[in-house]
Amino acid sequence: MGLHVSSHPLVLHKLALLRRVESEPKKFRELVREISQFLVYEATADMPLAPYTIQTPLSTMQGHAIGARIGLIPILRAGLGMVEPVIDLLPTAHVWHLGLYRDHNTLEPVTYYNKLPAQPDIDVCLILDPMLATGGSAVAAVDILKVWGAAKIKFLGLIAAPEGVERLQTAHPDVEIHLAALDERLNDQGYIVPGLGDAGDRQFGT
């Protein structure tokens, strides 16, 4: 349970490059990809295993498969860049897109796309969104998943502000949060400082 902020040297190295204003969209997407793989590696450390018998060239032995059905929930747009690197490591995962954007004036999330199937048929939902700022989008995403019937939910993000972590933990204390960094604060416009700017714009060059 709780909050996990990576301290892995490779994550810190790549995060510094990601934040740099000089990192253009191609480089930025590559770094989002790499850091996302480290994050999901850490966030899946407690996944249940299903043992089964395998044959090596020399003998049979007990192998293991991931024993949970996993759903990836990228928050559009910026979460899109985290899908491919994560599903590369979890190829049987299902992907359900959620479209949320922050209203620029109120900073509150607006839902514009939700195609979750009628019944949840997965054991663990991993919400993918690089930025946890005010926490409004993450709380809205978890609200939607819980109404849908999701039992276990984890949030995977690259950078968070303390305000967003507190809002998510207060609304949904059962949701584990996995981050590459916890930054200092939000500015008056709701941007994370020092942060990296707008994660969607930087990935897609908009």
Residues that bind ligand PRP (CB under 6 A): 75-78, 100-102, 107, 109, 129-138, 164, 190, 198-200
Given candidates 42, 123, 143, 198, which one binds ligand URA under the rule CB under 6 A?
A: 198
Dihedral-angle region of residue 29 (phi above 0 means left; psi in -120 to 50 means alpha; beta otherwise) = alpha
Which residues inside 69-98 make contact with ligand URA, applying CB under 6 A? Answer: 78
171 annotated to bind ligand: no
Considering the complex, state which of residue 68 and residue 116 has its C-beta at the smaller distance from ligand PRP.
116
What is the spatial distance between Cα 158 and Cα 166, in angstroms, rounded to a whole number?
16
Dihedral-angle region of residue 34 (phi above 0 means left; psi in -120 to 50 means alpha; beta otherwise) = alpha
- Which among 34, 87, 41, 82 is positioned nearest to 200, based on CA atoms? 82
Residue 177 corresponds to which tokens in the numbers above? 């949060």
**Nearest distance in Å: CB 113, ligand URA:** 18
Asked if 133 touches ligand URA (CB under 6 A), the answer is yes
Dihedrals phi, psi of 163, to nearest 5 degrees? -60, -40
Residue nearest ligand PRP by beta-carbon distance: 200
In the complex, the residues that contact ligand URA under the rule CB under 6 A are: 78, 131, 133, 191-192, 195, 198-200
